[in-house]
Amino acid sequence: MANEKEAVCRTHEDKRHTFEDGDYVKFVEVEGMTQLNGHAPIKIKDCKAHSFTLDCDTSSFDLYIRQGLVENVKVPKDVSYHSLAQSVKDPVASSAFGMLETPDMRFWGRSNHTHCAVRALHQFHEENKRYPAHGNEAEVQAVYDAACKLWDNADEALDEKFVKVSARFASCSISPMAAFFGGFLAQEVIKKTGKYIPLKQWMHYDISEAVPTGEVDRTVSGSRYDDQIKIFGNEIQEKLGNVKTFMVGSGALGCELIKAMAVMGLACGPKGHLTVTDNDNIEVSNLSRQFLFRQKNVGGSKAETSCEIAKTMNPDLKVRPLTILVAPATENVFDEDFWSSLDFVVNAVDNVKARNYVDGKCVWFEKPLLESGTLGTKANSQMIVPHKSLSYTDI
């Protein structure tokens, strides 16, 4: 570390730091540049794997000699918010960077259209005490007309197709989206404690690109899957029911995924089947994040317990629990016939070695793989399709 106005701090070649731009750090046990020891938290920037830059003038400090420890510290930050009445009319002025935040960069600018559609839908709900009825195009048009009156961007036309899709399916509630927003809300509640900075102030998320185009049979019959059928159609629901799936792992990710599978109707049809394997047993420390399990389940098999509970959510679920590790040593169980029989594989494991092994099998047998993981408040998901995307080990 040199004496500079913006000194660059480098970590040991074997010590990769996890800091991010904007974090604050403090130092101890630094030899030479002792002014850093006990210094007020210093903001950092230009973070790389083994270095970061101090937003602090160290040109007057003593010469750095060697060593030192650095740790991340949380610094309180005052954040102000506009009222809902103000921000709903002018969301851009209320947002952190003068724009509506979107978690998907493919739809940059879509959030403005989403916000307008949401406002029009809320207006329709206030007037009718419900959202537009399924199949009622007159009510869909009414929402679009209301959105046009609210749209105030003279340089860009309101996306009619998007607004009408939003109106057509506004009354539908499907498990994946409910789970997404439930987790989202839970994170924002946690942020209220002051550990993390909450959103400021709007974040819009949509999956309108998932709506099938062309002629789709959306005839409903009063089943528990009606809202899914209204959006995706009977053909997709039938395919979901008859899919043959293999899920590796039944911990935190596995609990959420098997719940989603059960309530969505995956593997609930006459030809469907789900195999779940996990060689771990439930521990007390698991209960805080593996939500299917309770105190009475401690000591039991994760796979067997999660499958049993999922069956109570949907008795039609055709699921087989196993307590066998997926590895080269168990290829007598998970053999060629087993892998070949599958339509789809889901990874819900917590280590890279297992991920790599399952990914290799999916590549060899040309099976689609859903890969996902979490780290603190962050999460990632990756849909791997043979011959159409990179595999997990390619990235």
Tell me what pLDDT residue 275 has: 98
Mapping DSSP onto H, E and C, the string for the chain reads CCCCCCCEEECCCCCCCCCCCCCEEEEECCECCHHHECCCCEEEEEEECCEEEECCCCCCCCCCCECCEEEEECCCCCCCCCCHHHHCCCHHHHCCCCCCECCCHHHCCHHHHHHHHHHHHHHHHHHHCCCCCCCCHHHHHHHHHHHHHHCCCCCCCCCHHHHHHHHHCCCCCCHHHHHHHHHHHHHHHHHCCCCCCCCCCCECCCCHHHCCCCCCCCCCCCCCCHHHHHHHCHHHHHHHHHCEEEEECCCHHHHHHHHHHHHHCCCCCCCCEEEEECCCECCHHHCCCCCCCCHHHCCCEHHHHHHHHHHHHCCCCCEEEECCCCCHHHCCCCCHHHHHCCCEEEECCCCHHHHHHHHHHHHHHCCCEEEEEEECCEEEEEEECCCCCCCHHHC
Mean pLDDT within 287-316: 96
Tell me what pLDDT residue 74 has: 84
Tell me what pLDDT residue 291 has: 93
Tell me what pLDDT residue 106 has: 76
Q: What is the mean pLDDT of the chain?
A: 92
By C-alpha distance, which of 253, 248, 228 is closest to 356? 248
Tell me what pLDDT residue 103 has: 66
Q: Higher model confidence: residue 125 or residue 154?
A: 125
**Structural domains of the chain, ranges and CATH numbers in brackets:** 8-73 (2.40.30.180), 84-191 (3.40.50.12550), 243-394 (3.40.50.720)
pLDDT at 376 over 80: no
pLDDT at 231 over 70: yes
Tell me what pLDDT residue 264 has: 97
Tell me what pLDDT residue 307 has: 97
- In terms of Cβ atoms closer than 10 Å to its own Cβ (0-12, 13-18, 19+), residue 63 is exposed
Task: Read off the pLDDT of residues 8-55 as tens digits, 9 standing for 90 and up.
Answer: 999 988 888 889 888 999 999 999 999 999 899 999 999 998 999 999
Instruction: Give the number of other CB atoms < 10 A from CB of residue 357.
Output: 18
Mean pLDDT within 146-158: 92
Nearest 5°: the CA angle 227, 292, 207 is 35
By C-alpha distance, which of 302, 395, 306 is closest to 355? 395
Please write down the long-range contacts of 39-43, taking CB distance under 8 Å and 24 or more positions apart. 41/73, 41/75
Give the contacts of 283 (CB within 8 A, at least 6 positions apart): 298
Q: How far apart are CA 61 and CA 32, in angstroms?
A: 9
pLDDT at 189 over 70: yes
Task: Read off the pLDDT of residues 334-372 as tens digits, 9 standing for 90 and up.
Answer: 999 999 999 999 999 988 999 999 999 999 999 999 999
This prediction's pTM: 0.81
State the pLDDT confidence band at 207, using cuts at 50, 70 and 90. Answer: confident
Tell me what pLDDT residue 124 has: 98
Beta bridge partners of 381: 372
Task: Read off the pLDDT of residues 72-104 as tens digits, 9 standing for 90 and up.
Answer: 998 887 778 899 999 998 888 888 777 777 667
Give the contacts of 352 (CB within 8 A, at least 6 positions apart): none
Tell me what pLDDT residue 129 has: 97
